[in-house]
Chain A
Amino acid sequence: MPRIAPQLIRSALSHSPELAALLPACRDLNSAFNELRWIREHVDKTVGFNRKRHLEKLCQKRGRGVPLQYLLGTQPFGSLNIKCKPGVLIPRPETEAYVCYLQDLLESGNLLGQKLSELGNLRIIDFCTGTGCIPLHLFSTLQRSVRSLEVCGVDISLVALELAKENAKYNVAQGYMASSNDKQALSFQKADIFRDTDIQQFTGLPWDIMISNPPYISRNVWNYGRGQMGYSTRKYEPRLALVPEDDMPPAPAGLLPEDIFYARLLDLAQTLCPKILLMEVGDEKQARRIVQYCSRHTFCTQAQLTVWRDWPDVAPGSDKNTEDSDFTICTDDGKRITVPVKGSGNIRSIVITTII
């Protein structure tokens, strides 16, 4: 990490010491100003006395790298407010972007082939749900248009499940969404997706949509950074949500250990038979490995693959040369497959639509 320019520190200090305290985490003045404003608004709202001291303390903590969301307690996600606590991964803006885009596609009927209002019922399952942001967002937005809706979030971590349930209650209490009833159900289940006995409980009825934001950071990157790991994430967010562990089954040929979740998710998809499978991935290299693996997998024989970038609804920006609208991979039997890539930014997710 490059050092902060002394001139930057000096100009921050001339404004306020709190701003300077934020600099190590924010790296530039503009975002430090924003974070200071948000912290100040939070302090003004929650603390009745000794505000200055409180503000100072929060800024110092933030400067040491504690995620802003843990300090403020929440992160907005779509129209919801998601509570965040240490031990659970903080929802990322990229996740928000593709979930919102998915919701748009579902509502317009471009993905399922028919509009939601014509569709009687919809069942959505989210593996590795964490704070529950994805099921909560989809549940709150699709409530309006789908009569019979079932949304389920699955996680292995009890802390995460606690928080997800708390989030559901909190957002209902805040009036951001209606509570679940007998027609529209939202639930959170504990399950280890690598254990078949745990999966049994989901296999009764087919699911329409399956989403997952599994751990995908390699152990190498986690341990050594490699210029990719954020300091705050490495130090304060749970490893369980980010790195596939050692005790998991070995990766199939062609995949690396950090891709193990995708192999398992594709196997699960075969039993759950979703019409849409959406998986978040780390980078382009990983996306290529998984697309190649998909081409061999039986779930994808009849399926259409699309890759989405960070902002799938935004047209490729100024750096067009790095943001191609498709990429080509070679399968094992020498065939070349071209996969369309949508949006702008880094490659972020793989969407598999089964043709009915």
Chain B
Amino acid sequence: MNQTPNMQARQTSRLSRLVNIGVPYFWLGLFFLLPFVIVLQISLSEPALAQPPYRLLWEWVEEGLLQIQINLQNFMLIWEDDIYLYAFLNSLWVALVCTLICLLLGYPMAYAIATARERHRIPLLMLIILPFWTSFLIRVYAWIGILNTNGLLNHFLLWLGVIDTPLQILHTQTAVYIGVVYSYLPFMILPLYANLTRLDPTLLEAAADLGCRPLRAFMRVTLPLSMPGIVAGSMLVFIPVVGEFVIPDLLGSPGSLMVGKLMWTEFFSNKDWPLASALAIVLLGLLVIPFVLMQRLQQNLDEGRT
């Protein structure tokens, strides 16, 4: 073949484009996007005593005649039965409360790390990330021993004389809050830290030079400029917590349901795949808004940086 060098170059670049974009795209399409289509389809079908335990949406009734049955019962059930509505509201509430606590605790921590001496920053940050590398499950488990009625915290409080009968903390909503904040705090601190270190310190010096007192300078300059970090951190906590399973299962009370746990139960205990799918679809619908919001923000930041 008689090719000019540049034609070869263009073919190489086309090939690399195909590999770099195509392969991950294909994988995600097959194992991330397609599954949702199937979930949607099963959420519209009826449960059945079969393997797998649901009826297909379509059937070949006669030769060449396709019958499609759409079943909205699962969604009706979710809407009508208080349990599900309560579980959704409770999940959102827990996520909201925990996000706020993470923010209130995480912001000062991120700020303290970002304003620490340069050589201290990385070790301090490593200490935030480190627990993340140990098992999540085991870290949640650690709290069982602490929060138990005859656990370490109660013993400590009794010894201090603050209380005279042990408190019931394990298997309450409080335990869920503690567990979630404990597990998700690093996700709040990291984006906040990244944002705060990027802030130009001369801005604060300029504010001080213009007669602004430190607290006011913080409220007027630092806080507004760290908004992207606050939003990113909050989304990283809020979105996954809404669907959290392990923490409410191990630390929460059996009565206060969250969607993640409910889905698990419907799926594994009740073998109601269509209902579990419908729950997943509703949950997904709830999470799309904050997710798209976060993605937008990220894109704006990327464009602002270049």
Chain A complexes with chain B: no
